[in-house]
Amino acid sequence: MDGINIVTAADDRYAGHLAVMLYSLLENKRSSLQVTIYIIESHILHENKVLLNNIIKKFNSKIIYLTLDSTIYENFKTLGHISKETYFRISIPELLDRSVEKAIYLDSDLIVKEDISALWNHHVDHVFLGAVKDAYLR
C-alpha cells in the first residue's frame, strides 16, 4: 500500500467540523506516507471545498470527493445529529475504487490527537472490519 486512505462523510453544515478534523489529522501525522482523503458528500458548497482543499495542500495530501445521491437513504431514520450523511458509510465498498485495499473511516466531527500512522499500521489482514466500541453506549 502506497499511502494512508481516510474516508469520511459530511454535508455542508459539517464542512467546518471536517476542516478541523482534517487539519488535526494531517498536523499530527508523522510518517512520510501520503494521505488520500475520500469525502463522501451529497452537497458541499464550492466555497467550502476550496477551504478543505487549501487545508490539505500544505500537507502533501489529496482529497477525492465522492458525490452520493442522498435520496438512497431518504427513508432512513434521522434525528438531531443523525443525518442522511450518517448512513453514507454503508456505501463505502461501492464508492471506493477496487484498488483501495484498506481505509480508515473517521467521523467528520472529531479531533485527531495522535499520529494516524500507528492505527494505519495495525494489522487487520485477518478481519473484514475493525471498529471501536462507542464509549458512551453501554
State the Cα angle at 116 between 111 and 4, rounded to 5°.
120
pLDDT in tens, 31-84: 999 999 999 998 899 999 999 999 999 898 999 999 988 788 888 888 877 878
d(CA 3, CA 1): 6
The DSSP line for the chain is: --EEEEEEE--GGGHHHHHHHHHHHHHH--SS-EEEEEEEES---HHHHHHHHHHHHTTT-EEEEEE--GGGGTTS--BTTB-GGGGGGGGHHHHS-TT----EE--TT----S-THHHHTS--TT-S------TT--
Number of other residues whose CB lies within 10 A of the CB of residue 30? 10
- Asked whether the whole model's pTM tops 0.85, one would answer yes
State the Cα angle at 24 between 26 and 102, rounded to 5°.
55
Residue 102: predicted pLDDT:
93
Contact between 40 and 5 under an 8 Å Cβ cutoff? The reply is no
- Inform me whether the pLDDT recorded for 1 exceeds 60: no
